[in-house]
Structure 1
């Protein structure tokens, strides 16, 4: 009798574990964190260097930033009040989409996983900006674009010298000047919108 109730408890334990594994939480994974995890797992399995791990992190960060730039660029085309901000948004959506395509091709060649959609942090940024209207949107968007591109330029310039993989070094070197150009444009437009009421 004792052994059959023990089996029942064990069966329920197994069923609960299975239910937990299939819970909707599993599908709520952050795409950026998931891509980092998959790359770290593969790199760990293949016992490669910290430098290769850094390359993979850079690729995931560049992809998630690029996806956000495209989405925010589209949002700016809809919500911005100033023509300069709308034009900047269009330019970002187009140019970052091109860079994202090149990045995706490179990642496939290297066997790296990139996020296919915005991560939680990026979704939160998008949500905050989409809640703004008028000149508040223009100011917040352009302020973010200046900060984001400063960070991106630093990252791409570093990786154009420090990436372990020559192709990733080449990718960073190719796009660092483009991002620098974006930063200069962002600063110019930001100077215009800062004066708005």
Structure 2
């Protein structure tokens, strides 16, 4: 009888351990990567618009740089998500249109530059935040790696913005 009670208690203890909730995974890494992916795709799409619609060669050149740099960043991001076993929703990896509704804008150059300046300011802030406070070491390292390029984009668009004024 004592053996039966001991076995029963042992089973109950193991069952109780199985019911203890496990710590939540770092959802902030997934959220950060989703937003970063959307931003990459928006920059690529907006860069394509700049190549087609911009009048000033420096804005076309900036658009080309956005396409090249953000395509590279997106490839790195997708590789990172595979290595980290993070599944991004389809909405974050394709079919993204730019935030810009510039089709009928009479002064595309000015609208594009303003949008890029504000957008890159927000993006740099987001990457700096994750690079310093992020929980996932691999995602944090990637954010740190991307910051110099993003800051360079911001500096360059600020220069173009001053030239337009």
Q: Aligned-pair distance for 1:132? A: 2.2
Deviations 1:89-131 (CA, angstroms, capped at 9, x unpaired): 0011100100000001001112223322245xxx3724x1233
Structure 1 residues without counterparts, runs of 5 or longer: 1-44
1:116 aligns with 2:93: yes
Structure 2 residues without counterparts, runs of 5 or longer: 1-20
The CA distance in 2 between the partners of 1:130 and 1:101, in whole Å, is 28
State which structure, 1 or 2, has the greater radius of gyration over its C-alpha atoms: 2
Alignment of 1:113-192 (within 5 A): 113-114=87-88, 115-119=92-96, 123=97, 125-126=99-100, 128-133=101-106, 136-192=107-163
Report the aligned-residue RMSD: 1.8
Q: What is the DSSP-based 3-state SS (H/G/I as helix, E as strand, rest coil) of the residue aligned with 1:112?
A: coil
1:67 aligns with 2:44: no
Q: What is the DSSP-based 3-state SS (H/G/I as helix, E as strand, rest coil) of the residue aligned with 1:130?
A: coil
When you count helix as a share of all residues, which structure comes out higher? Answer: 1
The CA distance in 1 between the partners of 2:43 and 2:118, in whole Å, is 12
The CA distance in 1 between the partners of 2:86 and 2:109, in whole Å, is 36
The CA distance in 1 between the partners of 2:160 and 2:55, in whole Å, is 13
Q: Aligned-pair distance for 1:192? A: 1.6
> Hey, which bits of structure 1, 4+ residues long, moved more than 4 A?
none
Aligned positions, number: 142
The CA distance in 2 between the partners of 1:46 and 1:83, in whole Å, is 55
In the other structure, the counterpart of 1:26 is none
